[in-house]
Amino acid sequence: MRIHARNAVLLAPCAWCFLMTFVEPDWYTALQQHYRFFLTPLFGMQMPQSLVEARRKELDVMAREKPGVLLKHKAGGQVSIPGSQALVV
């Protein structure tokens, strides 16, 4: 009986971990979903502004430096940036 109770308790966290591994979100998306589905409804906690600001700065840097050559596109392959052929190995 205790095994069934343990499985019932661990089902939601294991399913959440599987989903987060399967869709491979970045750090901000994983935390945002965690706050959206668990912490805000259950405890009323909101996403800290320090995390939102850190993400905003990260997106500014990514928009300015265009690191798409180093990132993989979710559909497969690398992001195509004109003039970046020299960086592709």
pLDDT tens figures, 19-77: 877 877 788 888 888 899 888 988 999 999 999 999 988 888 777 776 555 555 555 55
Position 87 scores a pLDDT of 46
Which span out of 32-36, 66-70, 80-84, 85-89 was modeled with the highest average pLDDT? 32-36
Report how far residue 82's alpha carbon sits from residue 77's, in angstroms, rounded to the nearest whole number.
15
Q: How far, in Å, CA of 13 to CA of 21, rounded?
A: 12
Buried b (16+ CB within 10 A) or exposed e, 1-23: eeeeeeeeeeeeeeeeeeeeeee
Is pTM beyond 0.75? Reply is: no
Q: Which pLDDT belongs to residue 37?
A: 87
pLDDT greater than 50 at residue 15: yes
Q: Residue 9 is encoded by which pair of tokens?
A: 């308790």
First to last CA, the chain: 56
Burial of 59 (0-12, 13-18, 19+ CB in 10 A): exposed
